[in-house]
Amino acid sequence: MAQTDTVTRILDTAEVLFAERGFAETSLRTITSKAKVNLAAVNYHFGSKKALIQAVFARYLDPFSERFHQALDELEVQYRDEAIPLEVLLETLARTVLEVPAERNSLKVFMRLLGLAYTQAQGHLRRYIQEHYGNVFSRFSDLVRRATPELPEAERFWRLHFMLGTVIFTLSGLDALRDIADKDYHEHVSVRDLIRRLRPVVVAGMQAPLPDDALKVAG
């Protein structure tokens, strides 16, 4: 039974704590004590705290990357030379994101981690993700380009990131928002509910009219 499930226990505990408090605010002592594992185990198995952080991400992003590539392969076969419609691309992305962590029903954790990767300094993490998973984003980005030929290059870039912000911000801050929503509207939303609500907003955002070329934004 024992063998290397120490590694798994560390990862399981670390991802939850990281998602709850961030990286700097989560000490190795908190992780190892909650995981009922010796303090030195982290440095023994992973080498350093930084490497542990990267390993936590790899456990989500490796399967995600593989599945998403695969899903895009199928779409490209299906659509031959036609451009894949934007809605289909977004739908596929959403489905893959939902599938990956579903097996450990930890979508919330996954989203929190993505949000942290963006917002917490941690230069090493950004470099790691860019280096290991940059090509998935590039491929998706290229397909979106073909799906929205009317958008100027730069405009599409920014809108993709706007929408990324919408989704990550919402799903990663979900708990806080859900508390407010529960209290005010007595309507409990699931993550899948939220994604259903997000879809039309994201699509409309991507297809919004181009901004005025006005030189100034306000009075």
Q: Which residues bind DNA (CB under 7 A)?
A: 2-4, 6, 26-30, 37-45, 48-50
79 binds its own copies (CB under 8 A): no
Q: How far is the CB of 120 from its own copies (least distance, A)?
A: 6
Q: Residue 167 corresponds to which tokens in the numbers above?
A: 């989704």
| Closer residue to DNA (CB): 38 or 190 | 38
- Report helix angle 174-185 to 153-172, nearest 10: 70
What string marks each residue from 94 to 123 as x (binds its own copies by CB under 8 A) or -? xx--x----------------xx-xxxx--
Which residue number, 40 or 102, has a Cβ lying nearer to DNA? 40
Q: Is 149 helix (H, G, I), strand (E, B) or coil?
A: coil
Q: How far apart are CA 97 and CA 91, in angstroms?
A: 10
Query: Of its own copies, DNA, none, which one does residue 212 interact with (CB within 5 to 8 Å by kind)?
Result: its own copies
Other beta carbons within 10 Å of 97: 21
Given the complex with its own copies, which of 45 and 199 has the nearer CB atom? 199
Nearer to DNA among residue 38 and residue 78 (C-beta): 38
**Residue reference for tokens 């961030």:** 22
**Shortest CA distance to 148 belongs to which of 214, 207, 73?**
207
d(CA 95, CA 67): 10
Which residues bind to its own copies, rule: CB under 8 A?
20-22, 24-25, 91, 94-95, 98, 115-116, 118-121, 126, 153-155, 157-159, 161-170, 172-173, 176-177, 180-181, 184-185, 187, 189, 192, 194-205, 207-212, 214, 216-219
